[in-house]
Amino acid sequence: MPKLKTNRSVAKRFRMTKTGKIKKRNAGRRHALGNKTRKNKRQLRQKGYISSGDDKQIRRLLPYG
Per domain, the residue ranges of the chain are: 8-61
In this predicted structure, the answer to whether residue 1 has a pLDDT above a threshold of 90 is no
Q: Is the pTM of this model over 0.85?
A: no
Q: Which fold has domain 8-61?
A: Factor Xa Inhibitor (4.10.410)
Burial of 21 (0-12, 13-18, 19+ CB in 10 A): exposed
pLDDT tens-place string over residues 6-50? 999 999 999 999 999 999 999 999 999 999 999 999 999 999 999
CA atoms of 52 and 45, how far apart (whole Å): 22
CB 26 within 8 A of CB 34: no
